[in-house]
Amino acid sequence: MISSLIARRLIYPLHERLLKRPTFAYLEELERSQLLPRAAVEKLQENKLTGLLKAAYTHCPWYRERMDAADINPDGLVSLENLRRLPTMDKTDAAAHGEQMAWRGVPGGAYKYNTGGSSGQPLIFYYGRRRQASDAAGRMRARRWWGVEPGDREVYLWGAPVELNKTDRVKVIRDRLLNQLVLNAFEMSPASMDEYARAIQAYQPRCIYGYASSLALLAAHVADCGVSFKLPHLKVVCTTGEPLFDYQRELIGDAFGAPVANEFGSRDIGFTAHETPQGQMLLMSESIILEVLDEQGHPVEPGNTGEAVMTALESFAQPFIRYRTGDIVRVSNELCQAGRGLHVISEVLGRTTDFVVRSDGAIMHALAVIYILRAVEGVGEFKIVQHTVRDIEVIVAPNARWQEAGRMEIESGLRKRLGEDIRVDLRLVENIPPEASGKHRYVVSKVALSDGLKAASQLPIKE
């Protein structure tokens, strides 16, 4: 086993240099800039925005045309108010105009990447080395808030194909040299989870990282098996990829005996925000400009919910400028309790696909139906698919405590929540495979939100 000190000071920096990623230089920048007052952080954002728009105007025809139409001159300093003259864009734009948006000659090279497609819309796009460094350094800084240094032992419960398809000897050796143990979130059978529990106990990590749903599933499994982890060096369990529900936080924290911190981000925009030990979600303000907009594209007041529209300030290879992410968040004017100048996100509610629609047209958070299944004895894993406002498919992988009366309890609960006129198709299966991305989605709604996101201001549902 490699010592953390050697991994941190020698192997990790060498790895990043060989890949031509300025990760540790960017980390030093972030350690300094987070201590700036909020006004200085916003000035830094403005300077970076000006550089990004100038590069986009020079090298990306699609953006040049849009900036000309919006009368934005990138040669002068561009403020956020100027930026708002530019129309928003979305995943459809990025997919349709990717080549006209890309700067293939970006310093360090442009590399093709793809999103996981868990929202139903996979996207192929380009990223550069600076963007990669921003993601890695931002995550390193966030780990340090919890007492975890680069090179400390980490366990990854991860299922993105681009990472897990490259299981050759070189990758295994690299992971071990960096003190990273990767467990496959694509394979979450009871036998696999037993093996994962043994591996985590033996590895004694300082940090565990993975999808919220996968970690919650593992936590529930070890609890059912009566397993008790002894991980005295574990500082934090970091969840990613999905909203972290309160019951998941409790499950994970109880199982691993450590605090749980949620991460917010996506492949297209990158590492966006992370929870602090004080319980605040801090934006990666040096790399992201966040706008929270209502249906009409107007900024919402702090304390209200809206769609997260982001500008990735290091996305030079294929700029994402005023990009509609589909994520629903609540903004805050509060300051970081630890004295950092970074912006605070008070709540991440999920994606527009994390909502269900009642038969009378009301929009409800996925928690509205998740709580019903969670309350039924004998339900192990589950997945709910809303095909139409009246057609609900329920897939249950029962455990040993399942009784047939649970079927009636589920159907009755769903009708009370979603309408007495719904049709429920409930199936029992041995296990529920993850999405193509490796995530375990509890609720999938195929009903388009026709009335916008106004109902999101009433969320989350508390019981």
What does the domain layout of the chain look like in residue ranges? 358-458
Which of 16-25, 26-35, 207-216 has the lowest average pLDDT? 207-216
Q: pLDDT tens digits, residue range 222-250?
A: 988 898 999 999 999 999 877 788 888 99
Q: What pLDDT is attached to residue 437?
A: 54
Structure tokens at 120: 């139903």
Q: How far apart are CA 1 and CA 97, in angstroms?
A: 47
The string of pLDDT tens digits covering residues 72-114 is 988 888 888 889 999 999 988 988 898 999 999 999 999 988 6
Question: In terms of C-beta density within 10 A (0-12 exposed, 13-18 middle, 19 or more buried), how is residue 296 classed?
Answer: exposed
Q: What is the pLDDT of residue 350?
A: 67
Average pLDDT of span 162-170: 50
Question: Which positions ≥6 away from 448 have C-beta within 8 Å?
Answer: none
| pLDDT tens profile 25-82 | 999 999 999 999 999 999 999 999 999 999 999 999 999 999 999 999 888 888 888 8
- Please tell me which residue, 94 or 356, carries the higher pLDDT value: 94
Instruction: State how far the alpha carbon of 351 is from the alpha carbons of 170, 358, 454, in Å.
Output: 36, 17, 14
Q: Does residue 376 have a pLDDT over 60? A: yes
For 383-435, what is each residue's pLDDT tens digit?
Answer: 999 999 999 999 999 988 899 999 999 999 999 888 899 999 999 999 888 76
Reply yes or no on whether the pLDDT at 452 is more than 60.
no
Q: Which pTM value belongs to this model? A: 0.78
CA-closest candidate to residue 338, choices 264, 276, 258: 276
Q: Which residue has the higher pLDDT, 142 or 363?
A: 142
Contact yes or no for 48/286 (Cβ under 8 A): yes
pLDDT of residue 267: 84
Q: What is the pLDDT of residue 122?
A: 52
pLDDT, mean over the chain: 86
Q: pLDDT higher for 458 or 299?
A: 299
Using the predicted structure, report yes or no on whether residue 155 has a pLDDT greater than 80.
yes
The better pLDDT of the pair 286, 355 is held by 286
- Assigned superfamily of 358-458: ANL, C-terminal domain (3.30.300.30)
